[in-house]
C-alpha cells in the first residue's frame, strides 16, 4: 500500500446518513420465504483496501481499517410501503443500461415491497422545474416490462443545472419519500446539494444515487454500468478500423472513443481487441512532432507494416487546443488528429489512406449487453433496499466484488483516472509497443 492510498483511506468518512430508526418489519422475507440470512445488517462491512500491507499497518497500530456498509435488504424498514411515494430521474448523457435501472427499481418496489406509487421525472432535473411543464410518468410493472430491450432512457435526460431549492420544493409538493437519481459526476454533485437542502428544511426524503458513467470514471466506484457494453462495441469498431487500415497501402484506421476525462474505454477496448498500435488518452501526455513523437512513431509503423490503427479518447491532447483547452466539444481531437496526420504525411510526400471512425453516439444509445443487464438489476434492487430502510445521501457502488453503500460526498466532484504507472496502462504499452510518444 503506498503512502497516497494510506492517506486517502485514513481520511475516508464512510458512515451513511439515516432519516430515522427503521421500525417496520420488512415484507421482503415473507415474500422470498428466506429467513434472516438474506437480510444484512449495518454492521456487515466491506474493506476499502484488502491489501496485505494495509492489514499489517492497521494491526500494528490497532486501528480499524476503513470499510463500506454492505448493500442489501434490511429486516426493518423506515418507510411504510402502503404510503410512500417514490420518484426516479435520469440525468446527463445517455448510457447503455438506463432503462434496466428504471425497470429494476420499479419491479423491486412493486413486487418486493408492495410500493405502487412510482413516478418518473421527465428530462432530468428539468422535470422538477414547473416552467418546463414536463409531465410525470406513472411507472408501473406493465409500463417497464420490456424497456430493458431499448436503448436510451424512457424518461429522457438533460444536462443543465437547476435551482436546488425549486427541486426540493417540488419533491415536498409531490410528497416524494424516496428519490432515485441516476447520473454521473454532475448528477451526484447535484444529489448531494439536494440532500443538504432537504436536511435544512427538516424533510424526511431519502436521496439514493446510482452512479452512471459510460467512461467508468466515478471516484471510489470500481465498476459502473454501461462500461462493459461500451467496451464490447468499441472492440467491434476496432475490428472495423483494422480491416479498413489493412485493406489499403499505408492505411490508417483512426478511431475516436468516449473518455472526456479518463481513458478507460480506449485502454480496455484496445486490450480486448489487440489490433491497436497507438492508444491516446487524457491521462498520458504525448507530442505530435519530434524524434520520439506520435508522428515519427506512426511513420515508422507504416514503413514497417504498411498499416496502423490509432485509438484516441475524446479528452486526449487538450494541450493542442490552447484557445480553450477545456472545451472538448468545440475542439474535437479526432478531427484534429485526422487533419494533422494528413498534413504531416503530405509534407513527407507519403501517400496514406486514412479512415476516421467515431461510433460514440451509436454506442451510448445502445441497449445494455447481458453482463450490464445483470449488473443493473443488482444496482436497482440494492438502491430500493437502501431507500426503503431510510438511508439517504448515498450511492450504490461496487467495491471489492460487492455492492456497498458509499456516501455521496465521497464521490461528488471527484473522478477516477488511469494512472500512468498502473497495470492497465503498462499492458496497453506492451500490447501496442507505442512507447512514450514524447518528442
Residue 424 sits in a domain of what CATH number? Answer: 3.40.50.460
Higher pLDDT residue, 412 or 153?
153
Statement: residue 4 has pLDDT above 60: no
List 100, 185, 215, 358, catalytic entry = 215
Whether residues 354 and 374 fall in one domain: no
In a domain, 438, yes or no: no
How many whole angstroms separate alpha carbon 360 and alpha carbon 152?
Answer: 13
Alpha helices in 273-351 (DSSP H): 294-305, 333-347
| Distances from the Cα of 69 to the Cα of 38, 41, 44, 126, 201, angstroms | 16, 9, 6, 32, 27
State the pLDDT at residue 61.
Answer: 64
Kindly state whether residues 129 and 256 are assigned to the same domain: no
- Predicted TM-score (pTM) of this structure: 0.92
Based on the fold, state whether residues 373 and 358 are members of the same structural domain: no
List the CATH number of the domain containing 96. Answer: 3.40.50.450
Q: Which tens digit of pLDDT belongs to each residue from 214-223?
A: 999 998 899 9
What sign has the CA pseudo-torsion 230, 235, 240, 242? positive
Residue 79: inside a domain, yes or no?
A: yes
Residue 215 annotated as catalytic: yes
Pairing of strands 45-47, 402-407: unpaired
Identify whether residues 291 and 316 lie together within a single domain: yes
Q: Is residue 437 part of a domain?
A: no
Do 393 and 246 lie in a common domain? no
Q: Which structural domain range is residue 340 located in?
A: 229-365+420-432
SS3 424: helix
Radius of gyration of the chain (CA): 24
Indicate if 78 and 185 belong to the same structural domain: yes
Considering the chain, what is the average pLDDT of its residues? 91
Residues 191 and 340 in one domain: no
The mean pLDDT of 227-252, rounded to a whole number, is 97
386 and 333 in a single domain? The answer is: no
Residue 258: which of 96, 55, 17, 88 has the closest Cα?
A: 96
Q: Where in 62-117 does DSSP place strands (E)?
A: 67-70, 76-77, 86-90
Q: What is the DSSP string of 210-272?
A: EEB-TT--BTT-S--BTHHHHHHHHHHHHHHHHHHHHTSTTEEEEEEES-SS--HHHHHHHHH
CA distance 29 to 227: 33
Check if the beta carbon of residue 235 is closer than 8 Å to that of residue 206: no
Task: Specify which residues 179 forms β-bridges with.
Answer: 87, 207
Same domain, 352 and 285: yes
User: Residue 240: is it exposed, middle or buried by C-beta count within 10 angstroms (0-12/13-18/19+)?
Assistant: middle
Q: Among candidates 312, 354, 353, 344, which has minimal Cα distance to 331?
A: 312
pLDDT band at 33 (very low <50, low <70, confident <90, very high): low
In a domain, 409, yes or no: no
Q: Assess if residue 413 is contained within a domain.
A: no
Least confident of 125-129, 173-177, 397-401: 397-401
Domain count for the chain, please give it. 2
Nearest-angstrom CA–CA distance, 285 and 40: 46
Note whether 355 and 239 are within 8 A (CB).
Answer: no
Residue 408 lies in a domain: no
Query: Is there a single domain that holds both residue 381 and residue 282?
Result: no
Q: Considering the domain boundaries, does residue 439 fall inside one?
A: no
Q: Is residue 102 part of a domain?
A: yes
pLDDT at 10: 54
> Same domain, yes or no, for 173 and 260?
no
Same domain, 56 and 139: yes
Amino acid at each position: 500500500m503506498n503512502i497516497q492510498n494510506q492517506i486517502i483511506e485514513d481520511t475516508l468518512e464512510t458512515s451513511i446518513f439515516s432519516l430515522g430508526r427503521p421500525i417496520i418489519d420488512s415484507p421482503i422475507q415473507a415474500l422470498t420465504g428466506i429467513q434472516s440470512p438474506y437480510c444484512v445488517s449495518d454492521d456487515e462491512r466491506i474493506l476499502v483496501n484488502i491489501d496485505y500491507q494495509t492489514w499489517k499497518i492497521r494491526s500494528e497500530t490497532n486501528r480499524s481499517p476503513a470499510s463500506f456498509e454492505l448493500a442489501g435488504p434490511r429486516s426493518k424498514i423506515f418507510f411504510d410501503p402502503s404510503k410512500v411515494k417514490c420518484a426516479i430521474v435520469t440525468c446527463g448523457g445517455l448510457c447503455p443500461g438506463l432503462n434496466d435501472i428504471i425497470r429494476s427499481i420499479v419491479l423491486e418496489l412493486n413486487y418486493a415491497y408492495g410500493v405502487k406509487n412510482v413516478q418518473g421525472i421527465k428530462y432530468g432535473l428539468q422535470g422538477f422545474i414547473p416552467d418546463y411543464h414536463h409531465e410525470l410518468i406513472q411507472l408501473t410493472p406493465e409500463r417497464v416490462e420490456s424497456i430493458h430491450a431499448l436503448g436510451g432512457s424512457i424518461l429522457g435526460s438533460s444536462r443543465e443545472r437547476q435551482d436546488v431549492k425549486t427541486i426540493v420544493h417540488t419533491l415536498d409538493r409531490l410528497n416524494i419519500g424516496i428519490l432515485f437519481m441516476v447520473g454521473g459526476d454532475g448528477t451526484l454533485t447535484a444529489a448531494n446539494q439536494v440532500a443538504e437542502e432537504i436536511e435544512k428544511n427538516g424533510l424526511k426524503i431519502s436521496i439514493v444515487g446510482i452512479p452512471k458513467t459510460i467512461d467508468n470514471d466515478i471516484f471510489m466506484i470500481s465498476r459502473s454500468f454501461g462500461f462493459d457494453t461500451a467496451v464490447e462495441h468499441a472492440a467491434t469498431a476496432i475490428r472495423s478500423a483494422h480491416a479498413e487500415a489493412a485493406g489499403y497501402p499505408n492505411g490508417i484506421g483512426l478511431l475516436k472513443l468516449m473518455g472526456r476525462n479518463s481513458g478507460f474505454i480506449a485502454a480496455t477496448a484496445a486490450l480486448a481487441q489487440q489490433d491497436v498500435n497507438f492508444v491516446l488518452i487524457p491521462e498520458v501526455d504525448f507530442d505530435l512532432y519530434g524524434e520520439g513523437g506520435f508522428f515519427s512513431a506512426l511513420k515508422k509503423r507504416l514503413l514497417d507494416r504498411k498499416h496502423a490503427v490509432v485509438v484516441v479518447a475524446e479528452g486526449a491532447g487538450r494541450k493542442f487546443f490552447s484557445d480553450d483547452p477545456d472545451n472538448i466539444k468545440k475542439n474535437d481531437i479526432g478531427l484534429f488528429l485526422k487533419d494533422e496526420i494528413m498534413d504531416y504525411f503530405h509534407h513527407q510526400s507519403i501517400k496514406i489512406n486514412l479512415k476516421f471512425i467515431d461510433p460514440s453516439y451509436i454506442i451510448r444509445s445502445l441497449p445494455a449487453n447481458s453482463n450490464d443487464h445483470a449488473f443493473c438489476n443488482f444496482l436497482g434492487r440494492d438502491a430500493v433496499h437502501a431507500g426503503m430502510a431510510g438511508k439517504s445521501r448515498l450511492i450504490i457502488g461496487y467495491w471489492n466484488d460487492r455492492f456497498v453503500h458509499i456516501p455521496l460526498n465521497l464521490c461528488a466532484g471527484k473522478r477516477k483516472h488511469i494512472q500512468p504507472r498502473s497495470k492497465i496502462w503498462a499492458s496497453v504499452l506492451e500490447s501496442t509497443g507505442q512507447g512514450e510518444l514524447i518528442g
